Amino acid sequence: MKLENLPKTKELKSKKIVGRGTGSGMGKTSTHGQKGQKSRSGVSISSWFQGGQSPLYRRLPKRGFNNKRFETKYATINLSDLNTFFKDGEEVTPEILKERGIIKKQLSGIKVLANGKLEKKLTVKANRFSSKAVSAIEAAGGKTEVI
C-alpha cells in the first residue's frame, strides 16, 4: 500500500481557497454570489427572519386560555323600565321580566340600575342591585330581595 493509493478522508482533503483573484476559479466574489445581504462580511441572519415580511408567528391568530368566557354578565334593567311595565304593588322577578319581553336573556342574572325615577311600590327580586337603586325602591315604599 502506497501513500498515493490511500482513500481521501476529511483530514486529508485540502481546504477550499477562495478570494485569490479571478483566475483561481473562486475569485472576485469568493463563492458569495452577486451583491446583497448575504454577500457582505459579518452577515448573520436569524433562521426565523423572513426577509422583512410579516413573520408567521405574527400572522397567525392568538390562541390559548383567558378568563373572558368565565366572566359574569348580568342583564340590566333600569328603574324607568320598572315604572313603565309594572303596576303598583306588583312583584318583579326574572321570569316575569323575560315573559313580558323586557329582557331577552337572563345571562348570569339580573341587575337593577338606578336610571330613571320609580313612582310605584314594587317588590323587586333580582341577583344584584346598585346602591342607588335600592335606596330609590325603598324610598318609593317597595322592597328589594337578592336571589
| Alpha carbons 71 and 111: distance in angstroms, whole number | 15
pLDDT band with cut points at 50, 70 and 90 for residue 60:
very high
Query: What is the reported pLDDT for 56?
Result: 92
Mean pLDDT of 89-110: 87
Amino acid, single-letter form, for residue 91: E
Q: What is the mean pLDDT of residues 136-147?
A: 89
Measured CA to CA, the distance from residue 133 to residue 79 in angstroms comes to 7
* pLDDT at res. 54: 94
CA distance linking residue 73 with residue 75, whole number of Å: 7
pLDDT at 11: 74
Residue 91: its H or E element: strand 91-92
Q: Average pLDDT in the 109-122 region?
A: 88
Distance CA 102, CA 100 (A): 6
| Domain annotation for the chain: domains and CATH numbers | 73-146 (3.100.10.10)
| pLDDT 10s digits, 13-48 | 778 888 888 888 888 888 888 888 888 888 888 888
